[in-house]
């Protein structure tokens, strides 16, 4: 990028991001994971798609999610959360935690023509070089 051109917070390049993972990655702290554990337990009887930000207050994590939202909307356009202990949750418990996080970051919309609100990203082994292959 030329030095004489204006730069905005959302401007980035792949190599630059590779050098600055702290710009786009947050690692969950033990207190933030405890927030998610409490939300999973307290929302056990609530349908996943009915979970709102108010239903899952996340006292430790909420402020970081608010910062993340600002970065997504007015900065580089994405963030990565790491340190989620997926191995200790059932698929449904993990979905509740992901939905609670999402409720703090934005508003859920359907992800496909069937109206699915939450999808599972998996490596299905498709070759990304094949034009008809769809992958994540």
Q: Is 124 domain-assigned?
A: no
Q: Which residue has the tokens 């190599």?
A: 15
pTM of the model: 0.81
Q: Give the range of the structural domain holding residue 47, as residue numbers without chain letter.
A: 23-105
Q: Is 36 domain-assigned?
A: yes
Q: Is 62 domain-assigned?
A: yes
Cβ neighbors of 95 (< 8 A, separation 6 or more) are 48, 118
Mean pLDDT for the stretch of residues 34-57: 94
Question: How many domains does the chain contain in total?
Answer: 1
Instruction: Report pLDDT digits (tens) over 61-87.
Output: 999 999 999 999 988 899 999 999 999
* Residue 100, pLDDT score: 96
End-to-end CA distance of the chain, in Å? 28
Alpha-carbon distance 82 to 6, whole Å? 32
Instruction: Report pLDDT digits (tens) over 85-135.
Output: 999 999 999 999 999 999 999 998 887 888 888 887 778 888 888 888 776
């Amino acid at each position: 990028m030329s030095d004489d051109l204006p730069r905005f917070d959302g401007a980035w390049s792949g190599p630059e991001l590779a050098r600055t993972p702290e710009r786009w990655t947050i690692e969950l702290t033990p207190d933030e994971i405890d927030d998610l554990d409490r939300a999973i337990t307290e929302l056990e009887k609530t349908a996943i798609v009915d979970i709102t930000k108010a239903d899952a207050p996340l006292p430790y994590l909420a402020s970081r999610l608010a910062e993340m939202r600002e970065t997504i909307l007015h900065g580089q356009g994405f963030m990565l959360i790491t340190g989620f202990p997926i191995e200790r949750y059932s698929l449904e418990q993990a979905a509740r935690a992901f939905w609670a996080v999402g409720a703090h970051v934005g508003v859920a919309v359907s992800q496909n023509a069937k109206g699915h609100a939450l999808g599972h990203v998996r490596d299905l082994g498709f070759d990304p070089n094949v034009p008809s292959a769809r992958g994540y």
